[in-house]
Amino acid sequence: MLARRMGRIKPSATLAVSAKAKEMAARGIDVVDFSAGEPDFPTPPAVKEAAIRAIHEDFSHYTMASGIPELRQAICEKLARDNGLSYEPSEVLVSTGAKQSLYNLSVAVFEEGDEILIPSPCWVTYEPQVLLAGARPVLIETGPETGFRITPEQLEAAITPATKAVFLNSPSNPTGGVYRREDLEAVADVLRRHEILVIADEIYEKLVYDGFKFTSFPSLDPWWKDHCIVINGVSKAYAMTGWRIGYAAGPQPIISAMGKVQGHSTSNPNSIAQKAALAALTSPLPEVEEMRQAFEARRNLMHELMTAVPGVTCTKPEGAFYLLPCWREYIGKQFTTCVDLASYLLETAHVATVPGVGFGTMGGYLRFSYASSEDRIREGLRRVTEAAAAIDR
């Protein structure tokens, strides 16, 4: 009864772990949840107040399928102000989260016979969305030796006549890795020579550390405006994951095609959430920097405690809110895969992590989110350290 393509799609590893952790918590078990992919901070008050006003003003009917004009204009102004990019509202599409923006793009642009390059480890949804569109995902493995950044040489070796696009996620989920401007310029030279479409997933752009200066990919050269789609949203920077507002900016023909997909699937994003997103993008919000600073302190703490676990190595991330430590020394005797290890930590230590295999090719790794208080990070790593000491390796 099911379409054949469904056999190629695996359930989300992050959602599966999160569901198990919540089920255990519902039974009264104290689970330290490091699997979460969302800030644990509240949405800023000014944003919530804008939504409340919209409700009282009965802003509760259909909007334009592509998003309300004032929000698309605010996105254009944000891209100009923060990223040095010039877009018109007709080149912007507002969707129900950045995930829908990516899905709209996949359906509108990819087709059977296309190859789509995905640096790995990668966010769990890139590969399934490519498969759902009928195209072929090509994973290119990166590692800690390059800060989990793809090299120009790797790109050149992976490109074939069938290559149509490449995903670039900086800062990255799950690694926290970032691309500096010189890194982007190096890969851009290869991609421009082959005229490969770039999908720049920049959802974590505000969450960077150690004085890192974020560079939006199409800001490298005006040529990229017609060969790059920027994906972003309000979920991570403004602690608005449940509001479900993301957006895409790019060449008008592609944005228009994505709008057609959206118009025949979900139609407009939530009207109230659009007003909230408008406030997020146009209001002075000191909470955004306060949250970034808190994440930086948490990163430092978790990285210090993680690297103190015998046999565990971990690159110090410069963005997002994840660590991707290597636990390969613990795979072999007692555990066959990192999935087994993650299950052990959940069942024994009551600590939820995400197996690295859920992010592409990273066997032997576990993803830890530091979107938790410092007290919970200390308690969780105490449990992890004790559980690790009991493992036969």
* Banded model confidence at residue 91, pLDDT cuts 50, 70, 90: very high
The class of domain 4-42+287-389 in CATH terms is alpha beta
Cα–Cα nearest to 94, from 124, 123, 73: 73
Question: Are the CB atoms for 99 and 241 separated by under 8 Å?
Answer: no
Tokens 């948490």 found at: 298
Handedness of CA 249, 277, 132, 126 (dihedral sign): positive
Say whether pLDDT at 376 is over 90.
yes
- pLDDT for 25-82, tens place per residue? 899 999 999 998 899 999 999 999 999 999 999 999 999 999 999 999 999 999 999 9
Burial class (CB in 10 A: 0-12, 13-18, 19+), 376: middle
252: its two tokens: 């008008």
* Banded model confidence at residue 14, pLDDT cuts 50, 70, 90: low
The domain spans of the chain are 4-42+287-389, 45-282
Cα–Cα nearest to 127, from 280, 13, 4, 235: 13
Q: Which CATH number fits domain 45-282: 3.30.360.10, 3.40.50.2000, 3.40.640.10, 1.10.3720.10?
A: 3.40.640.10
Say whether pLDDT at 326 is over 80.
yes
Please count the residues of the chain.
393
334: its two tokens: 């007692």
Rounded to the nearest 10°, the torsion over CA 299, 300, 303, 305 is -120
- pLDDT for 249-263, tens place per residue? 999 999 999 999 999
Lowest-pLDDT range of 180-194, 283-297, 321-335: 321-335
What pLDDT sits at residue 9?
84
More confident residue, 304 or 360: 304
Say whether pLDDT at 362 is over 80.
no
Topology agreement, domain 4-42+287-389 and domain 45-282 = no
More confident residue, 91 or 12: 91
Question: Are the CB atoms for 231 and 341 separated by under 8 Å?
Answer: no
Distance CA 125, CA 130 (A): 9
